[in-house]
Amino acid sequence: MTVAISDRMQHIPFSGIRKIFEEIILREKRGEPVIHLEIGRPDFDTPLNIKREAQRALEEGLVHYTSNYGLLELREAVAHKFLHDNGLKYSPDNEIIITVGANEAVFMAMMALLNPGDQVLVPSPCWTHYYQCARFCGATPIPVPLKRENRFIPRASDFKPYLGPKTKMLVINTPHNPTGAVFERSALEELADFVKANDLLALSDEIYEKLIYNGKEHVSFASLDGMWDRTITINGMSKIYAMTGWRLGYVAAPKAITEAMIKIHQYTTVCAATFAQYGGIEALKNGRQAGQEMTREFDRRRQLVTKRLRAMPGIELVEPNGAFYVLPYIGGLGMDSNAFTKFLLDRAGVAVVPGDAFGGFAENTFRLSYANSFEKLEDAMDRMEQALQKLGVSK
């Protein structure tokens, strides 16, 4: 039998990050030791108090469907977090949805708001799920370059040449994956003016909100003047509480938007896992200290990695101030992103992601995640340095 795959799937590629991850799994099965610096997942265990709350929920039989919006107590905790941390007021009754990870929230927002033919401005390089979620809706993602000379901080002037009559949405991701940039308030205010002037919607992905260094400030896009009613704010538990496998995110927006999004949630996932949601309540209520301790350790690792990379021949980098990534430039090495990634894996046993996996404007770069132990990062830096020395590249 010949299976006819839908037309839309012909244009949806397999994730470049996951492609690398699957290749590494095969190598490890063959007994090849690999240091993982490719996947954006904290290496810490989920804090014990959070796990115990989920266990308690299981033991007490709290295992049935919740409201499509999620447990009310969890939505109330999310609303308190938004008010306390971001100065944003949302009703837990109908302006917050608990999702199966932040990725589902991105998909729901785009599916609810985009029509075939609409265009979405996406600062790039980027987490390419924004591209593919837009394409699922029949919309067209338009990559807008984040420039190294501007420390990957976007300016409204960068977006103007890409604006068209079909432009409907602008994506904001700060702290940023894959560059580690934290978008400054002044830059975000410029973008807010641009969004208002052109009657656009904004999707603000703030999943790395708490992972900020060097005294930088996180600014929620919806908190800026005139932006609350046209912004969809997405966040989750994965990064700051080391809960990637729990698949627990949340999204907040005006009622008119969440009422459209909840229909997608109803007919796909129904609700996030109930016992996981009880863990999420504990995370938001009592997980702040554990998150702060993880952030301090990420900062220690960040300093190690940036110091060592700067000393390596042929590598340039913009210092990251957020998340747990760095995006070095390798234009002086004489090989492209994919060749360099394979070189590191073959010669050093170090796994990173080629810049090509993050859409446009990432040529001759690679993403390194320092979400691994300090000791393994030291080992990885030693291996990379030795491999580069064998290439005969001088500083």
pLDDT tens-digit profile, the chain (395 residues): 778 888 888 777 777 677 777 888 888 888 888 999 998 899 999 999 999 999 999 999 999 999 999 999 999 999 999 999 999 999 999 999 999 999 999 999 999 999 999 999 999 999 999 999 999 999 999 999 999 999 999 999 999 999 999 999 999 999 999 999 999 999 999 999 999 999 999 999 999 999 999 999 999 999 999 999 999 999 999 999 999 999 999 999 999 999 999 999 999 999 999 999 999 999 999 999 999 999 999 999 999 999 999 999 999 999 999 999 999 999 989 889 999 999 999 999 999 999 999 988 999 999 999 999 999 999 999 999 999 988 776 65
Residues 6+ apart with CB under 8 A from 130: 106, 120, 122, 141, 171, 173, 203, 205
Q: What is the pLDDT of residue 393?
A: 67
Q: What is the C-alpha to C-alpha distance for residues 366 and 387, in angstroms, rounded to an integer?
A: 16
Contact (CB, 8 A) for 193 and 138: no
Question: Residue 287 phi/psi, 5° resolution?
Answer: -105, 5
What pLDDT is stored for residue 89 in this prediction? 98
Three-state SS for 176?
A: coil
Q: Where are the alpha helices (DSSP H) in 270-360?
A: 274-286, 288-310, 337-348
Q: What is the pTM of this model?
A: 0.95
Instruction: Look at residue 31 in the predicted model and tell me its pLDDT.
Output: 85
Question: What is the distance between the alpha carbons of residues 337 and 343, in angstroms, rounded to a whole number?
Answer: 10
The enclosing H or E element of 110 equals helix 101-113
Residue position matching structure tokens 């909840």: 262
Question: What was the pLDDT predicted at 360?
Answer: 84
- Which H or E run contains 144? strand 140-145
Q: What is the pLDDT of residue 48?
A: 98
Phi, then psi, of 375 in degrees rounded to 5: -65, -40
Q: Which helix (H) or strand (E) holds 96?
A: strand 96-99
Left (φ > 0), alpha (ψ -120 to 50) or beta: where does 101 sit?
left
